[in-house]
Amino acid sequence: MSIERSSGILLPVFSLPSKYGIGTLGREAYAFVDFLAESAQSYWQMLPIGPTSFGDSPYASFSSFAGNPYFIDLEMLMEEDLLDRKDVRHLKVADPADIDYGYIYETRFDVLHKAYERGVKGDLSGFVEFKRENADWLEDYSLFMAVKKHFDMRSWIEWPDEDIRLRKPEALADYREMLKDDVDFYSYLQYLFARQYAALKQYAHEKDIKIIGDLPIYVALDSADCWADPDQFQLTSVNVPREVAGVPPDYFSEDGQLWGNPLYDWKRMKKDGYRWWIRRINGSARFFDVLRIDHFRGLQQYWAVPYGDTNARRGRWMDGPGLPFVRTILKNCPEVEFIAEDLGIISEDVDKLLADSGLPGMKVIAFGMEAYVPNRNTPHNFIRNCVCYFGTHDNSPIQGWKATTSKKDMDYTRAYFGIRNDREFNYKIIAGAMASVSNLVVFQMQDYLNLGEEARINCPGTLGNWKWRLLRKQYDHKLAERIAEMTKIYGRK
């Protein structure tokens, strides 16, 4: 692991403060980079940043390559004269600490279309060059979105025109011509996103901040990835899944988790040296310095659930591509740093895959505080080549966890971290993690703010997530100084 002893903060882009209902790549993103630098942090960990579908999960995106149009900053577009103040005057935010995805979906694209109308001709050469450089994914993605819009945003599995659903050449040409304006609109949104993101990433690097992103192991069924490359997935002759992804019953859910993603045809992928994966990872590397491979254990074995089931109980374990795949990726993507998300039900085979790969795994302190029970997630059992969290975006912040933990485990936690005063509860745990041998420590922003369950990002298996937002008044120079002092005490920068 080339990540040196350091620390970072996890905060999704959508959680940033902003005037228009959701975090963006604008001024507040730059302010957060400044805060990270002042706090002596080395990493900003984000969640996936792709365009989201029903349920608003960043892990169910319309594309592995595209950026979320909601993150395009409207203030920046106004500075470029692509929008006027009157274009955004009608936008309302009922609660600055929450995200109303329905309202944003209904209003944001009309506003962005005005920017497209003003900008596409004014910067035609730049737009044309962007389309040329990204043609390997952008053409399919933009046509996919245009056809979805044409069919009232229905999943491509349900498109009434079988010819375009199955990508017959004549249908592709006909729809590309018929929906030309919408195709260009969706392409232009990616042009705007890419420009704004590249500027933010450069600013972060100037402040010595690297960005950690997520590489979800699966893509969404309703995605340009699956529609454009159906032969990479386990689909029937009419492009319908035989089985879909999930995880078996565990500590999160007695029914398991039915993700519904299409499963890969690993045997076919192996024949061409996993080119699809290499292309996907290199696409993600445009945005991120480090990629967290979500559900790493699925590369060893994955849970396959019959398509149409309503829960994941009837799934079965199937063999994944294993170490040859990991080595192929590492060889062909040498500039990318990786973190392996090795959580869940972990077998000896998965442990061996992680060890043989040399990648850092994850330790989650919230899973290691069962009183006096040997556990790899308890800090004294950490190794250097790992990334330590108290909890991920799927867990409660520290204060939410504290409110629901048993007295026995809470007494153990207090004794373990030397907690004598509830006012210092979070920071005693943060200090304990910082003092560990783990090369990298990442805490959620909520933990530095002493926030509880109300600030949880995601509760797996439920709807209504991905809505928590940071308020600008919640963090300041005083907080940055406290974090920086702790970071330096434990030699993390």
Selected catalytic residue, list 250, 309, 394, 453:
394
Residue 13's H or E segment, with its range, is none
> What is 411-424 written as a DSSP string?
HHHHHHHT---GGG
> Which is nearest to 333 in space by CA: 372, 284, 395, 392?
284
Based on the residue annotation, tell me whether 182 is a catalytic residue of this protein. Answer: no
How far, in Å, CA of 432 to CA of 487, rounded?
A: 11
Kind of pairing between the strands at 257-262 and 243-247? antiparallel
- Residue 44 CA to residue 303 CA, distance in Å, equals 31
Rounded Cα gap, residues 148 and 140, in angstroms = 12
d(CA 434, CA 8): 11
Question: Which DSSP state fits 296?
Answer: G
Active-site annotation holds for 272? no
How far apart are alpha carbons 242 and 233 in whole angstroms? Answer: 10
Tokens representing 97?
């600490």
3-state secondary structure 102-136: HHHHHHHHHHHHHHHHHHHHHCHHHHHHHHHHCHH
Query: CA-CA distance, 19 to 27, in Å (whole number)?
Result: 11
Rounded-to-integer distance, Cα 343 and Cα 330, Å: 21
Active site residue 75: no
Q: Which of 182, 341, 342, 447 is catalytic?
A: 341
SS3 74: helix
Name the 3-class secondary structure at 153. coil
Strand order in the sheet with 337-340: 337-340, 290-293, 210-215, 43-45, 6-10, 440-444, 386-389, 361-364
Bridge-based pairing of strands 361-364 and 386-389 is: parallel
Q: Which of 294, 337, 342, 447 is catalytic?
A: 294
Q: Which residues contact 267 (CB under 8 A, 6 or more apart)?
A: none
First to last CA, the chain: 17
- 89 contact partners, CB below 8 Å, separation of at least 6: none
Closest residue by Cα to residue 60 from 51, 68, 69: 51
Active site residues: 294, 341, 394
